[in-house]
Amino acid sequence: MTANSGTGIAERVTGARRGDRVGDSPARPDGAQKTRGEFAFSSDLWMDGMLWGKTLRSPHVAAKIRSVDTAPALAIPGVRAVVTAADVPGRPTFGLDVPDQPVFASEVIRYHGEPVAAVAADHPEAARAAAAAIFVDYEPLVPVVDPEIALEASPIHPDGNVFRHLVIRHGAPDATGDVVVEGDYEVGMQDQAFLGPESGLAVPAEDGGVDLYIATQWLHVDRDQIAASLGVPAERVRLYLAGVGGAFGGREDVSLQIHLCMLALRTGRPVKMVYARDESFFGHVHRHPARMWYRHHASRDGDLVKVEARIVIDGGAYLSSSNAVISNAACFAPGPYRVPNALVEGYAVRTNNPPCGAMRGFGAVQVCFGHEAQMDKLAAALFMDPVELRLRNALERNDRLVTGQVLRGAVPVREVIRAAASHPLPPPPDPAGPVTARPGGAGATAGPEDVRRGVGFAVSMKNIAYSEGFDDFVTARLRLEAGVDGEAVATVSVATAEVGQGFVTLAAQIVREELGVARVVLAPPSTVDVGSAGSSSASRQTWMSGGALQLACATLRAELVVRAAELWECAATQCLFDDGDVVRAATGERLSVPDLLAPAPLETEHEFHHRPTRALDADGQGDAHLSFMFAAHRAVVDVDPELGLVRVVQIATGQDVGKAINPVQVTGQIEGGVAQGIGLAVMEEIVVTEGHVRNPSFTDYLLPTVLDMPDVLATVIEEPEPGAPYGAKGVGEPPTISSGPAVLAAIRDATGFPVTRAPVRPEDIALTWMRRTS
C-alpha cells in the first residue's frame, strides 16, 4: 500500500488463482501483505494534520460524579478539545441491543474504567497528560459486585438489575431418575485479547458528517449507534473497514467509535485513537463469568431422564449481548444429549463489574463446563465409561432439544465423539524428557516423579447465526464485467468484516466455483455502497455472506444463459452453464463469460435471509435456532498436583463442519479455537476484586504461547447441512467450547480432585493436594 493510492485502506484485495474453488485451500489474498507489514490495520492509519485522541476513565467501580473540570486539560499546550457527557449532541447512550450505556458517564460511574471524557491533542503524550489533568470530583459508592446479591439489591441502573430471566420447562417437571448427580460449577471472566488494539481514524466531512475508518465486526450497527449519538442522519456517518487485528466477539460493541467521531467534529480535524493494551482491557466487553448448579437424573442403564440447572451469568454494568448469551446458556445447558425432561433457569444480571458480552462460543462455552462435568459424574455413578455414556445419549436427527425444537439438519454427534476418541494417544510422560515438556515448563519446577497423566473428554453444541426471531440477513452485490485484457472480472461488494477468519478467501472461492471466473475482486467493505452484512460472529458469515454470494452468482449465471440463448436464438432451457462457458446443448457451441459480457456488464444485488426463527415462549419452548454445530474434544494433560501445575499434552477433536470449504483455514480455526479453550481452562482470567480489574496487561493476563500449545489432532465430519451453502456450517466457535471442559476433565482424571472452576488456578489443585495429604 502506498500513500499516493489516495484511498489508503480502500485498496482492493484480490486473489486470482484459477482452480481455487470450494473444497480447495487457496492462500489468503491478503496474506503476503500481512507478512511484509504492508497490510493497513486500523492502528496504522495516518493523515495530514491529524490529532490523537485519549479517553479518561473512572478509577472507581461505583461513584457519583459531583463535577468535572476540563480547564486544566485545555491549558496544556497542544490540546485541541475535551469532550464529556455534556457535549454528546444526540442520544446520550448506546448499546448493541438496548441503548443503556452512556457514551460518557455524566452522573454515575457503574464500572471500573467507565469513560468520563475524551481529549484530542497534537501528540499522544499531550493527550495522555491532558486526560490525566481533567479534574473529576467523585463520591465513591459501595459497588454491587455479586450477581446473586444484585438480583435482590436496589437497582444500579434505571433499567433494573435483571437483564433477563429465562426458564425452560420441558417434559415432566417431576420426573426422576434412578441415579442422580449434582454439582456447582464456575467460570471466570475471559478476555478476547485480540492483538490489534481498538483503533480508528475519524475525518470530519463537509456535509457535517464524519468518515470513520475502523476495525469492527459489524459496520452498519456501529454506524447506527454513532449516528444516533452524534444526532446526524445515518447516511452522513460513513464507516470504512480498516484492517482488523482479530475480534473474537470483542469488537461487536462500540468502544471508541463515538468518542472519536465527537472529537473529529469538535476539532474539525482528523483524529486517530489507539487504545494501549491496558485501556483495551477496559474498553471492550468480556466473556461472562458464570455460576451454575446442575442436577442430572438418569436411568440405571444410563439414559438421561432429566436435567435441572440454574445458571447465573454476570453481565456487568451494561446490557451488551447478555440477553443472547443467557439464551444460549439456557438452551444448550444439557449439552448435545437427548433429554426428555428439563427445568432450566437462567439469569443474566447487572452488577458493577466490567460489562460482558460477546466472545467466541458465548453462552455455550460456560455451560459446557457444567454439563460435561456432570456427564463424567454420572458415568462414575453408573460405573460406565464416560465416552460410552455420551454415545448412548447423543442427539440424533429428529430428536428434540429441551426447547422443543426438532433437529432437522445434520446431527453427527456420535461421529464427532468417535472421531475424537479414535485419535492415537501420546506416549506416556518421559521422566528423561526435556524439562520444558513438563508442567511448569522452562521453570523446571515439576519433578519428573510427581507428574500424573490424565485424559478427559467433552462434547458440545452451539447455534449458528442469530436466533429467537432476529431478522438475520446479508446484502451482497456482484458485478461481472470484461476487464481491459478481455478476461472476466467479478467484483463482490459486501460489508462483511474480515477479522482474520478468512472470509476474503472463501468469497473468492465461492465466486470461482459458481461462475468459473478466475479474477475475483472484493470491494472494500463500507456502509457507503452496500447494505448490512450483519456481524462477523456466531459462526455465521460462511453461511450468511457465503449464501448471499452464492445466490448472486446463480442470478448472474442465469442471466448469462439468457444472453447466450438470445444470441443463438434458442430457448434458455437449451443452454447450460459449464465452468465459465455457456454451452448450447443441441450443438455443443460455447460462449465464454467474457464473450457474453462484451455488450454490457452484469450486476445483481441480493438480500439473503436465513429461515426465520421464533422467540422462546414463557416455558422456553420454540424453534429459536437456525442450525447447530457439534464438536468433541479429548484432552491429555500432565499435572504436578503438589505445585498445581498443568501442561496440556494433546488435544484430539472431531468437529461437525458440514463441508470444509477451505480445509487449511478450517484447520486454522480449529487450532486457534482450541488455544482459546485451553487458555480459559488453565490460565486466562480477568481478575476482578470488588469490581476492580487487577490484571489489565499481557504481563498479568496470561495467553497461551507456542510453548503452552499442544499438538492438535483434528478430524472434520462433513455431513452436509440442508439449506447451507455447500452444506457448510460455521467452524469458528466449536473448537473453543468443549476443548476447555475436556482439559478440566483430564485434570480431574489425573488428580482425582473435583476441579469445578475454570480457569483452574495452581492453588485450586495445590491447596486440595495439601488438604488431602496432610
Find the angle CA(724)-CA(730)-CA(736) to the nearest 5 degrees. 160
Q: How far apart are CA 167 and CA 169, in angstroms?
A: 6
Strand 179-187 relative to strand 575-578, pairing: unpaired
Q: How far is the CB of 216 from another protein (least distance, A)?
A: 13
5 binds another protein (CB under 8 A): yes
Nearer to another protein, 124 or 580 (CB): 124
Out of 22, 41, 284, 553, the only residue in the binding site for another protein (CB under 8 A) is 41
Asked if residue 685 binds another protein (CB under 8 A), the reply is: no
Q: By C-beta, is 197 or 412 nearer to another protein? A: 197
Q: What is the DSSP letter of 738?
A: S
Task: Report d(CA 395, CA 390) in Å as an integer.
Answer: 9
How far does Cα 373 stand from its chain's mean position?
A: 24
Task: Cell numbers for 684, please give them.
Answer: 486466562
Among 21, 52, 359, 533, binds another protein (CB under 8 A): 52
32 binds another protein (CB under 8 A): yes
State how far the alpha carbon of 572 is from the alpha carbons of 517, 566, 580, 592, in Å: 21, 8, 16, 16
* 398, three cell numbers: 429428529
Distance of closest approach, residue 375 Cβ to another protein, in angstroms: 26
Task: Name which position in 142, 149, 442, 558 contacts another protein (CB under 8 A).
Answer: 442
**34: contact with another protein by CB under 8 A:** yes
The residue (of 142 and 707) whose beta carbon lies closer to another protein is 707
Q: Tell me which of 98, 179, 180, 205 binds another protein, using CB under 8 A.
A: 205
Rounded CA separation 652/769 (Å) = 28
Q: For 610-736, list the strands marked E by DSSP.
A: 627-640, 645-656, 688-689, 692-693, 711-717
Q: Name which of residues 249 to 278 contact another protein (CB under 8 A).
A: 270, 274, 276-277
Out of 14, 25, 715, 768, point to the residue binding another protein (CB under 8 A). Answer: 25
- Of 713-772, which residues contact another protein (CB under 8 A)? none
Beta carbons within 10 angstroms of residue 140's beta carbon: 12
Cβ 287 to another protein shortest distance, Å = 14
Which of 437, 554, 570, 572 binds another protein (CB under 8 A)? It is 437
Residue 364 found at the interface with another protein (CB under 8 A):
no
Of 422-430, 435-443, 620-628, 754-762: span binding another protein (CB under 8 A): 435-443
Query: Does residue 501 belong to the site contacting another protein (CB under 8 A)?
Result: yes
51-57 and 115-121: which strand pairing?
antiparallel
Is residue 536 within 8 Å of 217, Cβ to Cβ?
A: yes
Q: Of 270 and 620, which has the nearer Cβ to another protein?
A: 270
* Minimum separation from the CB atom of position 130 to another protein (A): 10
Choice between 7 and 176, CB closer to another protein: 7
Close Cβ partners of 334 (under 8 Å, ≥ 6 residues apart): 304, 307, 309, 342, 344, 371, 402
Strand-pair category, 575-578 with 688-689: unpaired
Is the N-terminal amide bond of 759 cis, ω within 30° of 0? yes
Q: Comparing C-alpha atoms, which of 457, 401, 530 is closest to residue 743?
A: 457
- Report, in Å, the least distance between residue 383 CB and another protein: 36
All residues at 6 or more sequence positions from 155 whose CB lies less than 8 Å from its CB, including other chains? 161
**Which of these ranges, 34-42, 296-304, 391-399, 511-519, lies near another protein under the rule CB under 8 A?**
34-42
> According to the binding rule CB under 8 A, does residue 423 interact with another protein?
no
Cell of residue 82, nine digits: 475535551
Q: Which three cell numbers stand for residue 30?
A: 491478503
Beta carbons of 133 and 73 less than 8 angstroms apart: yes
Rounded to an integer, what distance in angstroms lies between the CA atom of residue 545 and that of residue 455? 39
- Confirm or reject binding of residue 23 to another protein (CB under 8 A): no
The closest of 43, 39, 365 to 201, measured between CA atoms, is: 43
* From 18, 46, 299, 607, residue interacting with another protein (rule: CB under 8 A): 46
Any idea of the CA torsion for 407, 535, 103, 259, to the nearest 10 degrees?
170
* Dihedral class, residue 143 (left if φ above 0, else alpha if ψ from -120 to 50, else beta): beta
Output the smallest distance, CB 49 to another protein, in A: 8
Q: Is 426 in the site for another protein (CB under 8 A)?
A: no
Residue choice 698, 719, 727, 762 for contact with another protein (CB under 8 A): 698
The size of the interface with another protein (CB under 8 A), counted in residues, is 99
Contact pattern for another protein over residues 74 through 113, marking x by CB under 8 A: --xxx-----------------------------------
Per-residue binding string, another protein, 481-500, x by CB under 8 A, is ------------------xx
- Figure out which of the listed residues 231, 233, 434, 483 binds another protein, where binding follows CB under 8 A: 434
705 binds another protein (CB under 8 A): yes
125 binds another protein (CB under 8 A): yes
Question: Distances from the Cα of 219 to the Cαs of 182, 526, 544, in angstroms?
Answer: 44, 7, 16
- Pick the stretch among 91-99, 228-236, 245-253, 623-631 that binds another protein (CB under 8 A): 245-253
Please report how close the Cβ of residue 661 comes to another protein at its closest, in angstroms: 14
Among 143, 177, 245, 546, binds another protein (CB under 8 A): 245
- Return the residue matching grid coordinates 472470509: 503
Exactly one of 18, 64, 66, 123 binds another protein (CB under 8 A); that residue is 123
Nearer to another protein, 23 or 183 (CB): 23
Element (H, E) at 435: none
Q: Are strands 210-214 and 237-241 parallel, antiparallel or unpaired?
A: parallel
Q: What angle do CA 20, 23, 26 make, to 5 degrees?
A: 35
CA atoms of 530 and 527, how far apart (whole Å):
6
The residue within the footprint of another protein, chosen from 45, 358, 492, 497 (CB under 8 A), is 45
Q: Would you say 122 or 399 has its CB closer to another protein? A: 122
x/- mask, another protein, residues 134-153, rule CB under 8 A, reads --------------------
Place of cell 454439582: 183
CB nearer to another protein: pick between 143 and 357 = 357
Q: How far is CA 177 from CA 265, 301, 305, 377, in A?
A: 65, 10, 6, 14
Asked whether position 526 contacts another protein by CB under 8 A, the answer is yes
- Residues 611-670 close enough to bind another protein by CB under 8 A: 664-665, 667-668, 670
Residue placing its CB nearer to another protein in the complex, 506 or 755: 506
Q: Which of 29/620 has CB closer to another protein?
A: 29
- 427 scored as a contact of another protein (CB under 8 A): no
- Smallest distance from the beta carbon of 715 to another protein, in angstroms? 15
β-pair type (179-187, 290-298): antiparallel
> Can you tell me the distance from the alpha carbon of 586 to that of 564, in angstroms, rounded to the nearest whole number?
13
699 counts as binding another protein under rule CB under 8 A? yes
The answer to whether the beta carbons of residues 163 and 349 sit under 8 Å apart is: yes
Among residues 334 and 524, whose Cβ is nearest to another protein? 524
Nearest to 359 by CA among 60, 733, 72, 700: 733
Smallest separation (angstroms) from another protein to the CB of 194:
6
Choice between 470 and 698, CB closer to another protein: 698
Mark the segment that binds another protein (CB under 8 A) among 290-298, 452-460, 546-554, 700-708: 700-708
Footprint of another protein on 397-416 (CB under 8 A): none
Is 531 a binding residue for another protein by CB under 8 A? The answer is no
Considering the complex, state which of residue 289 and residue 679 has its C-beta at the smaller distance from another protein: 679
E-assigned strands of 72-126? 79-84, 93-94, 101-102, 108-109, 115-121
Q: What are phi and psi of 486, to 5 degrees?
A: 90, -10
Q: Is 240 in the site for another protein (CB under 8 A)?
A: yes
